[in-house]
Amino acid sequence: MKQFVLFLLFFLIVQIDSDAQFKSYFQNGSLRIDFVLSGNAQESKASIFELKKERFYGGSLHKTIDSLNYGEFKISLLDKLDSTVIYTRGFCTLFEEWQTTDEAKRMDKSFFQTVTVPFPKKEVVVSIERRKRNGQFYNLLNTSIDPRAYSIVKGKLNGVKTHKLIDNGNKDECVDIAFIGEGYADYEMDKFHQDIQRMYDYMITQSPFDRYQNKFNFWAVDAVSAESGVTDPRKDVWKDTALKSSFNTLNSDRYLESTHTFLIRDYAALVPYDQIYVIANTDKYGGGGIYNHFSLTSIDNSRSLTVFIHEFGHAFAGLGDEYYTSEVSYSEYFNQEIEPWQPNLTTLINFEAKWKGMISKSTPIPTPAKEKYLDKVGVFEGGGYSAKGIYRPTYDCRMKSNEADEFCPVCQKAIEEMILFLTD
Ligand SMILES: [Zn+2]
């Protein structure tokens, strides 16, 4: 069965592995699917809110099938006539994080979610799947979309300035990041652009970004906030900002997020993008990053630049948190009975599929936290918010702490694979 699936996947990749094939299924622009996820700790429901046609599609034109299989959710597009799978992509949501909190055991809640895909030429069936506790996908939503329908919204935000601050070439061969300012008043746009430049200057000192600095375009979307700074509920500070972000997301003080996903996507749509990065104009420590959703960081804290690429590690490469001692709102986030999909975490249930090949024969599995192994790739217990049963690749890493010098070799490899997937 597995071989058959692999054969099928290979066949599909071959079938649409060219720009010509891409053009036979897709036209310019992207189809944006805005939907609402609702439920509680036990139940999930998805329903369409609105469909939009956007001017740009930032992604690869020849790799439409997601071979990495990361993410708690997956979107697939099937040609309606012959059921050929023409596009798939994994993603994560704030909803699934909320589902692991105590609040979700007591009540129902809704979250805005958006996925953008290349705009289809013909009628397609869109399916959204999510993983069960056992890691297998099940279907959450199925709907047919006719690209000619009048109900597809074509409006856009007007009067917002955009700039290509770092230009390394064509959107199809680069990772395009849409940086959107949050909590920058109209007189602070120069600072916003300088902040983006600082982020780029730091990023290209870090492996593997140093080797791929000509593969990134940085766009600035000048979202103007009525007030400078961002909302901080624990200090009773409430700001009128463009993206309505806030600290204390999921009742964790340093967790800075915005639940106004559709609003963020309206701003991002003004430029071509593979990733969205919201920069919050504050010196309070915090941020958040969700795979193929968006990243957010405050910018004026002394640790903001390390937080910046840590969060990008989540949102861009599907990396998991390697820490386990900090306070988080989640309980039993990972099912320790299965191998997690995150490339930098393992339960040792299927370690062959992870970084076993990167460990030298003289390093024991699991690896004791002893002096002689501290600079080696191994399997160190503790990671994914749990001190027991989940293992990480090195003693320290950018995905574990702000004190680490860099991403560990396993995280570096995962980031590199994603850069190549999107640009090669
Ligand atoms: Zn790592």
Give the tens place of pLDDT for each residue, 327-360.
776 767 899 999 999 999 999 999 999 999 999 9
Q: Could you tell me the distance, in angstroms and rounded to a whole number, from the CA of residue 315 to the centre of ligand 1?
A: 14
Report the CATH superfamily, name and number, of domain 13-145: Peptidase M64, N-terminal domain (2.60.40.3250)
On the question of pLDDT at 403 being above 90, the answer is yes
Confidence of residue 424 (pLDDT cuts 50, 70, 90): confident
Mean pLDDT of 34-54: 97
pLDDT tens digit sequence for 279-313: 999 999 999 999 999 999 999 999 999 999 999 99
What does the pLDDT read at residue 15? 46
The candidate with the shortest Cα–Cα distance to 316, out of 392, 424, 420, 170, is 420
Q: Could you tell me the distance, in angstroms and rounded to a whole number, from the CA of residue 300 to the centre of ligand 1?
A: 25
Q: How far apart (Å, rounded) are the C-alpha atoms in residues 153 and 147?
A: 11
pTM recorded for the entire structure: 0.94
Residue 180 contacts residue 230 (beta carbons within 8 Å): no
Residue 103 contacts residue 41 (beta carbons within 8 Å): no
Q: How many CB atoms lie within 10 A of CB 191?
A: 16
On the question of pLDDT at 19 being above 80, the answer is no
What does the pLDDT read at residue 6? 53
Q: Could you tell me the distance, in angstroms and rounded to a whole number, from the CA of residue 390 to the centre of ligand 1?
A: 13
What does the pLDDT read at residue 232? 97
Q: Could you tell me the distance, in angstroms and rounded to a whole number, from the CA of residue 283 to the centre of ligand 1?
A: 26
Q: Could you tell me the distance, in angstroms and rounded to a whole number, from the CA of residue 362 to the centre of ligand 1?
A: 20
State which fold the 162-321 domain adopts.
Collagenase (Catalytic Domain) (3.40.390)
Q: Could you tell me the distance, in angstroms and rounded to a whole number, from the CA of residue 287 to the centre of ligand 1?
A: 18
What does the pLDDT read at residue 3? 55
Q: Could you tell me the distance, in angstroms and rounded to a whole number, from the CA of residue 409 to the centre of ligand 1?
A: 7
Q: How far apart (Å, rounded) are the C-alpha atoms in residues 395 and 388?
A: 15
Q: Could you tell me the distance, in angstroms and rounded to a whole number, from the CA of residue 238 to the centre of ligand 1?
A: 36
Q: Could you tell me the distance, in angstroms and rounded to a whole number, from the CA of residue 384 to the centre of ligand 1?
A: 11
Mean pLDDT of 257-264: 97
Residue 319 contacts residue 398 (beta carbons within 8 Å): no
Q: Could you tell me the distance, in angstroms and rounded to a whole number, from the CA of residue 215 to the centre of ligand 1?
A: 22
Q: Could you tell me the distance, in angstroms and rounded to a whole number, from the CA of residue 357 to the centre of ligand 1?
A: 15
The candidate with the shortest Cα–Cα distance to 222, out of 283, 272, 268, 287, is 268
Q: Could you tell me the distance, in angstroms and rounded to a whole number, from the CA of residue 323 to the centre of ligand 1?
A: 10
Mean pLDDT of 402-417: 97
pLDDT tens digit sequence for 107-122: 999 999 999 999 999 9
Q: Could you tell me the distance, in angstroms and rounded to a whole number, from the CA of residue 198 to the centre of ligand 1?
A: 23
Three-state SS at 147:
coil
What does the pLDDT read at residue 197? 98
Mean pLDDT of 13-27: 73
Q: Could you tell me the distance, in angstroms and rounded to a whole number, from the CA of residue 311 to the centre of ligand 1?
A: 13
Mean pLDDT of 211-217: 97
Look up residue 235 and give its two tokens. Answer: 């200090």
The candidate with the shortest Cα–Cα distance to 255, out of 265, 245, 240, 263, is 245
Question: 363, exposed or middle or buried, with CB in 10 Å at 0-12, 13-18, 19+?
Answer: middle
Average pLDDT over the chain reads: 94
Q: Could you tell me the distance, in angstroms and rounded to a whole number, from the CA of residue 218 to the centre of ligand 1?
A: 25
Three-state SS at 4:
helix
Q: Could you tell me the distance, in angstroms and rounded to a whole number, from the CA of residue 232 to the centre of ligand 1?
A: 30
Q: How far apart (Å, rounded) are the C-alpha atoms in residues 285 and 306?
A: 11
Q: What percent of the chain has pLDDT over 70?
A: 95
What does the pLDDT read at residue 2? 54
Look up residue 213 and give its two tokens. Answer: 């600095």
Backbone angles phi, psi at 104, to 5 degrees: -70, -15
Q: Could you tell me the distance, in angstroms and rounded to a whole number, from the CA of residue 46 to the centre of ligand 1?
A: 33
Confidence of residue 61 (pLDDT cuts 50, 70, 90): confident
Question: 21, exposed or middle or buried, with CB in 10 Å at 0-12, 13-18, 19+?
Answer: middle
Q: What percent of the chain has pLDDT over 90?
A: 90
Q: Could you tell me the distance, in angstroms and rounded to a whole number, from the CA of residue 169 to the centre of ligand 1?
A: 30
What does the pLDDT read at residue 378? 98
Q: Could you tell me the distance, in angstroms and rounded to a whole number, from the CA of residue 313 to the centre of ligand 1?
A: 9
Q: Could you tell me the distance, in angstroms and rounded to a whole number, from the CA of residue 393 to the centre of ligand 1?
A: 6
Poorest-pLDDT segment among 3-12, 96-105, 389-398: 3-12
Any idea where the domains of the chain sit in the sequence? Answer: 13-145, 162-321
